[in-house]
Amino acid sequence: MAMEAGDIEALIKEAFPDAEVTIEDLRGDGDHYAALVVSSAFTGKSRVQQHQMVYAALQGRMGGELHALALQTKPKD
């Protein structure tokens, strides 16, 4: 079962209330997305740590409801 872009954004914003989130459906199939997440929570964290934080926010949906996510993260300036 595919995930809606709005559901992905809602989960990320629930974990990072100050986040600026941009979601793009790469194939129009609801299974392959690209996301840019900008949050002050990422300040001082490595890119790997930032990605782990976002994956944790998705509450285990990666590999199930959400097949593929090309993720970019960065701290707010």
pLDDT value at position 39? 98
- Structural domains of the chain, with CATH: 5-74 (3.30.300.90)
pLDDT value at position 7? 93
Grouping H, G, I as helix, E, B as strand and the rest as coil, residue 53 is: helix
CA-based angle 59:56:28, to the nearest 5?
Answer: 65
Cα separation, 64 vs 6, in Å, equals: 17
Q: Over 80: is that where the pLDDT of 1 sits?
A: no
pLDDT value at position 33? 92
Cα separation, 22 vs 38, in Å, equals: 9
pLDDT value at position 24? 95
**Amino acid present at 56:** A
Could you read off the pLDDT of 9-64 as tens digits, one per residue? 999 999 999 999 999 999 887 888 999 999 999 999 999 999 999 999 999 888 78
Contact criterion met (CB below 8 Å) for 58 and 12:
yes
pLDDT value at position 46? 97
Q: Where are the alpha helices (DSSP H) in the chain?
A: 5-15, 47-57
pLDDT value at position 3? 85
